[in-house]
């Protein structure tokens, strides 16, 4: 259905702007009149043909929303609110600027919901898959305190840091992951296709082949005969892991196993704590009490084992126990974090201390990632070199043996 922007008179002294969905321009004008407005200007903003165009452009415009879309939406809305543009007008502008169909529909629904009398936080809560509870709670706090533009500014900085950290992790792991995948594919093709073709050369040999060549041919024979079982096994394993991740018990098992993996466990732990501390700091800085801030922050740990233990902290804080005292009983929390929280509580600056701890853990994670990737790349090259070199040697040994026999 087409969407129109309008400029209308509410009374002699007040003019309103917004967006409205209608069958055509005349229908849009009639709707505005029914709303008690006097239309001044009604213009087509987007039509069904434009919003649902075929081909690659249409496909890209309908792709799902992600964290980056949330960052862009928040940054643009913050800029408009800082410029003293009212919320409904800001949403209208964002609707016109967006090039993603799903985001357009979301913004249109936000605009319609707010225009019908709901609060902005209630409108956001309708789209919980896109706007996390942290986001909704902060917006609710901003509405209550009249500081919506400041809260959006805080959210913009918070989301930017989170997105920057994720990009660091992805960038650090991209090259090693690519090397492993390419190496695995090359080895798979060699064993399942190339070597079986070359093995015919050795079929007519009258003497015993060297042991490395025999091993290589047996491995190649297994790959050639049973490669489909390996692919099927990998698919089944992926399916089982995906199914486990969809149930609370399965996620808990996966999180427990993740914490037992060397190196990965330390990185995961530091990353979770950094995100938890930064979220808790942001919520408390925005005026939420500690208990409510904990309730929103605990899910950001994204680990069922950690979340279960932290529920005890939330319960004790509700009963009046200090945050640092209740944190001392949690096994996975480093003593450094507990001591810093205690110092922050005593000095009345818990929010800034938590933010500082989050920055420290983020920096530590970045440094560890750099060290790991610096060591991982030569190790991958070495392993692939040894495997490929071993294959080449196993193929050449019979030829060397023939030369020796001839001499």
* pLDDT of 19: 74
Three-state DSSP class for 8?
A: strand
CB-facing half-sphere around the CA of 48: CA atoms within 13 A: 5
Q: Which pair of tokens denotes residue 151?
A: 């809260």
Q: What is the C-alpha separation between 307 and 329, in angstroms, rounded?
A: 14
DSSP-derived secondary structure for 134-192? HHHHHHHHHHHHT-HHHHHHHHHHHHHHHHHHHHHHHHHHHHHHHHHHHHHHHHHHIII
CATH number, domain 160-407: 1.20.81.30
Of 70, 120, 124, 79, nearest to 98 (Cα)?
Answer: 70
Domain boundaries, the chain: 160-407
Q: Express the helix, strand and coil content of the chain in percent, nearest 5 each.
A: 75, 5, 20
Tens-digit pLDDT profile for residues 121-169: 899 988 888 888 888 888 888 887 788 888 888 888 888 888 888 888 8
The confidence band for 405, taking pLDDT boundaries of 50, 70 and 90, is: low
* pLDDT of 56: 36
Q: Which pair of tokens denotes residue 333?
A: 């929390």
Mean pLDDT in residue range 88-115: 86
Residue 203 has what DSSP assignment? G
* pLDDT of 52: 44
* pLDDT of 270: 87
Tens-digit pLDDT profile for residues 102-120: 888 898 889 888 888 889 9
Whole-structure pTM value: 0.69
Alpha-carbon radius of gyration of the chain: 30
* pLDDT of 339: 92
* pLDDT of 203: 67
Asked if 217 and 199 touch (Cβ cutoff 8 Å), the reply is yes
Sheet of 38-46, strand order: 15-21, 3-9, 38-46
* pLDDT of 146: 80
Tens-digit pLDDT profile for residues 306-362: 888 888 888 888 888 889 899 998 888 889 999 999 999 988 889 999 989 999 998
Tens-digit pLDDT profile for residues 207-260: 677 888 888 888 888 877 787 888 899 899 999 888 888 888 888 888 888 888
Helix or strand run (H / E) with residue 91: helix 87-97
DSSP-derived secondary structure for 28-73? HHHHHHHTT-EEEEEEEEE-HHHHT--HHHHHHHTSPP-HHHHHHH
Q: Is the per-residue pLDDT at 197 higher than 90?
A: no
Of 116, 121, 110, nearest to 145 (Cα)?
Answer: 121
Q: What is the C-alpha separation between 237 and 126, in angstroms, rounded?
A: 35
The confidence band for 404, taking pLDDT boundaries of 50, 70 and 90, is: low
Tens-digit pLDDT profile for residues 35-80: 787 887 777 765 444 444 444 334 333 456 788 888 989 999 988 8
Residue 132 region by backbone torsions, left for phi larger than 0, else alpha for psi between -120 and 50, else beta: beta
């Amino acid at each position: 259905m087409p969407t129109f922007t309008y400029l209308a008179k509410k009374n002699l002294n007040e003019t309103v702007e917004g967006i409205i969905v209608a069958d055509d321009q005349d229908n849009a004008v009639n709707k505005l009149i029914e709303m008690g407005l006097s239309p001044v200007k009604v213009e087509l903003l987007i039509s069904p043909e434009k919003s649902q165009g075929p081909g690659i452009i249409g496909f890209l415009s309908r792709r799902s929303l992600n964290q980056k879309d949330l960052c862009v939406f928040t940054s643009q809305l913050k800029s408009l609110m800082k410029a003293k543009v009212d919320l409904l007008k800001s949403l209208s502008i964002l609707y016109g600027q967006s090039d993603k169909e799903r985001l357009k529909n979301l913004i249109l629904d936000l605009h319609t919901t707010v225009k019908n009398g709901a609060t902005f936080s209630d409108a956001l809560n309708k789209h919980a898959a896109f706007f996390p509870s942290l986001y909704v709670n902060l917006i609710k706090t901003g509405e209550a305190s009249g500081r919506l533009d400041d809260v959006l500014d805080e959210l913009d900085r918070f989301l930017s840091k989170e997105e920057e950290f994720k990009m660091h992790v992805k960038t650090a792991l991209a090259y090693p992951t690519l090397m492993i995948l390419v190496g695995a594919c090359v080895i798979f093709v060699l064993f399942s296709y190339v070597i079986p073709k070359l093995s015919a050369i050795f079929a007519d040999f009258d003497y015993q082949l060297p042991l490395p060549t025999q091993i290589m041919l047996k491995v190649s024979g297994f790959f050639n005969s049973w490669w489909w079982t390996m692919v099927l096994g990998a698919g089944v394993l992926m399916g089982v892991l995906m199914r486990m991740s969809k149930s609370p018990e399965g996620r808990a098992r996966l999180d427990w196993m993740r914490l037992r993996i060397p190196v990965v466990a330390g990185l995961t732990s530091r990353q979770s704590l950094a995100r938890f501390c930064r979220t808790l700091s942001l919520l408390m800085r925005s005026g939420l009490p500690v208990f409510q801030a904990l309730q929103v922050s605990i899910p950001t740990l994204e680990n069922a084992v950690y979340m279960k233990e932290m529920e005890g902290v939330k319960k004790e804080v509700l009963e009046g126990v200090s945050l640092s005292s209740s944190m001392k009983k949690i096994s996975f929390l480093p003593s450094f974090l507990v001591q810093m929280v205690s110092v922050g509580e005593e000095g009345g600056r818990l929010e800034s201390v938590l933010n500082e701890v989050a920055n420290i853990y983020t920096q530590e994670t970045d440094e560890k990632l750099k060290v790991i990737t610096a060591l991982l790349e030569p190790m991958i090259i070495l392993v692939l070199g040894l495997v490929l070199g071993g294959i080449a040697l196993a193929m050449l040994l019979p030829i060397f043996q023939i030369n020796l026999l001839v001499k």
